[in-house]
Chain A
Amino acid sequence: GIQVEQSPPDLILQEGANSTLRCNFSDSVNNLQWFHQNPWGQLINLFYIPSGTKQNGRLSATTVATERYSLLYISSSQTTDSGVYFCAVKGGTGGFKTIFGAGTRLFVKA
């Protein structure tokens, strides 16, 4: 089945810093989502981005489907950005199953 790898696994930032999170996948996809899991466990939809670039406030994402990767950019980070960021994909040999990466755990220091 399709493999999803996220990097880095852990990231510590000073408030106000910028960061880039990466998601690599091993096969073509027709669905790619970025989620933020807050400290209470809630998974919040950030982007639905199987290809192209999107922006929402301080967050933006780019997926280069032909090269099988997606990037999530966080600018001017805030303490409320702390949590785990997941990339999830559907497609390839995985059929209709959504495959999650292991996540990037982000901690933003005040």
Chain B
Amino acid sequence: ETGVTQTPRHLVMGMTNKKSLKCEQHLGHNAMYWYKQSAKKPLELMFVYSLEERVENNSVPSRFSPECPNSSHLFLHLHTLQPEDSALYLCASSRERQGPYEQYFGPGTRLTVT
């Protein structure tokens, strides 16, 4: 089983749709992250969860709603998105949030908002 998996890999949705992105990690880590990667921009950290508790929310619009039901699963619920939200959404995990621990990334979900 690969370390961090994400589904779906590709998603096209209209601005009025509701969809969810799923991330699962099989590494026994306690911290999970959502990043957004837009064209020609650095990776932007969106949310951080540590032991299922949200510890960072970096000024992300409320149309993005994360959920972490347990330390292995992370969701990103999407509703009434805008075309500028089209991007690659990457999930990552690390052993702990604090401390010098490596982050491991999933393959990403490429989202297109029409």
B-facing mask of A66-86, CB < 8 A → 1, else 0?
000000000000000000001
The CA-CA distance from A41 to B92 in the complex, in Å, is: 13
Decide if A96 touches B105 in the complex (CB within 8 Å): no
A-facing mask of B27-46, CB < 8 A → 1, else 0?
00000000001000011010
Decide if B97 touches A96 in the complex (CB within 8 Å): yes
- Point out the residues of chain A lying under 8 angstroms from B97, CB to CB: 96
| Chain A residue, CB-CB nearest to B37 | A41
Q: Taking the complex as formed, is A31 at the interface, i.e. its CB lies under 8 A from any CB of chain B?
A: yes
Q: Taking the complex as formed, is B64 at the interface, i.e. its CB lies under 8 A from any CB of chain A?
A: no
Decide if B43 touches A45 in the complex (CB within 8 Å): no
Decide if A98 touches B45 in the complex (CB within 8 Å): yes
The CA-CA distance from A51 to B33 in the complex, in Å, is: 25
* Chain B residues within 8 Å of A, Cβ to Cβ: 37, 42-43, 45, 56, 88, 90, 92, 97-105, 107-108, 110
Known: A33-B102, A43-B90, A100-B43. 16 other contacts (CB 8 A): A40-B107, A41-B37, A41-B88, A41-B107, A41-B108, A42-B105, A43-B92, A43-B108, A45-B102, A45-B105, A48-B102, A50-B100, A90-B100, A97-B45, A100-B42, A103-B42
